[in-house]
């Protein structure tokens, strides 16, 4: 992509911490097409780049896509239980209740 391995590793660390702007600045002087494409991608998606190191350190949630996709599938299955009738207006309320229960905020 351009630049030294040291610079690439530094950019990886910055992105892990959610610092897209700093990573873009690191490659501002690179003229190679790969570097320009990478900076364009980061610029377009910088709002979606989160601070993974924070979530990992706080153990707030799994950051792997597999765990997220599994959770979505479980919710989807529960919403499609035979005989259950769900209205789009009540789905968010049910998700809030489920999150509260899983986080220990509800005593059932």
pLDDT above 70 coverage of the chain, percent? 91
Does position 73 have pLDDT exceeding 70, yes or no?
yes
User: What is the average pLDDT across 37-43?
Assistant: 92
Quickly state the pLDDT bin for 28 (edges 50, 70, 90): confident
Q: What does residue 63 show for φ and ψ, rounded to 5 degrees?
A: -100, 0
Average pLDDT value for the chain:
82
Does position 88 have pLDDT exceeding 90, yes or no?
no
Name every residue whose Cβ is closer than 8 Å to that of residue 54 and which is 6 or more positions away in sequence.
17, 18
Q: Give residue limits of the domains in the chain.
A: 5-54, 65-102
Q: What is the pTM of this model?
A: 0.53
In Å, what is the CA distance from 73 to each residue of 25, 46, 69, 70, 95? 39, 27, 6, 5, 13
- Chain centre distance of CA 14: 15
In Å, what is the CA distance from 69 to each residue of 12, 50, 66? 24, 18, 5
Structure tokens at 104: 């220990």
Q: What is the pLDDT of residue 81?
A: 78
């Amino acid at each position: 992509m351009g630049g030294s391995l040291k610079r690439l590793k530094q950019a990886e660390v910055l992105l892990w911490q959610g610092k897209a702007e700093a990573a873009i600045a690191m490659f501002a002087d690179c003229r190679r097409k790969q570097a320009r494409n990478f900076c364009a991608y980061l610029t377009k998606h910088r709002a979606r780049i989160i601070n993974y190191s924070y979530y990992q350190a706080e153990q707030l949630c799994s950051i792997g896509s597999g765990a997220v996709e599994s959770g979505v599938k479980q919710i989807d299955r529960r919403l499609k239980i035979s005989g259950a009738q769900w209205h789009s207006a009540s789905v968010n309320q049910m998700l809030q209740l489920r999150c509260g229960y899983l986080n220990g905020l509800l005593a059932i």
